[in-house]
Amino acid sequence: MSVRGDGPPALRPERLARLGFFRDFSPPELRRLTGSGGLRKYADGELLATEGTRKQRRTLYVVLEGELQYVRRIRTERAKVVLTLGPGDVGGFLTFFNDDPSPVTVQSVGRSRVFEIGRREFQLLMAKQPALAGKVLLALLRAMVSRLDAFLGQMAATSAWALELEQHLRTLPLARED
């Protein structure tokens, strides 16, 4: 995937720099980075990955426009949206760095446009421009830390709710057979 010149309007450095993931990149770095990846459009409901499969492309993607949902099966008959990505959010790293099956289904909500870079293209970027690849990895780490922090906050809130529920249950009168 290569983009010539400044590429499509969605990949122009001045537009990308407004999005969270790309904020710390200079315009020349963004031009080099977009030269390693490309723009991809997804229709409403189109899948980027399917939970439990290994056949998806191994790509990192940054949402430029639209929304992507991470859906996970709770039980065979039920699924839950566990994460929603919007403009400036990065995804795909759960399968980008390993060959495990996708832990989630990723689907477009409405029309979405994303910047994608494949594993092979990223390896070439690491070989040719290690400082830029390092900056991408640092931005990925920041995104993962932010998500982990949000997850830990949800876990703490759920734990507090469970403890409160337990206290309420202990105060309920138990039906006794006399």
* Helix H or strand E segment including 114: strand 105-118
146-162 pLDDT tens trace: 878 877 787 888 888 88
Q: What share of the chain is helix, strand, coil (3-state, %, to 5)?
A: 45, 30, 30
What is the structure's pLDDT at 124?
Answer: 95
Q: Which residues does 26 contact at the CB level (< 8 Å), separation at least 6?
A: none
pLDDT at 3: 38
DSSP for residue 173: P
pLDDT in tens, 25-53: 999 999 999 989 999 999 999 998 888 88
| Stretches in the chain below the pLDDT threshold 70 | 1-10, 55-56, 175-178
Helices 119-128, 130-171: inter-axial angle, 10-degree rounding = 130
Task: Give the pLDDT score at 42.
Answer: 95
Say how many CA atoms lie within 13 Å of 66 toward its Cβ. Answer: 22
Distance (Å, whole) CA 174 – CA 178: 12
CA 9 to chain centre: 22
pLDDT at position 156: 84
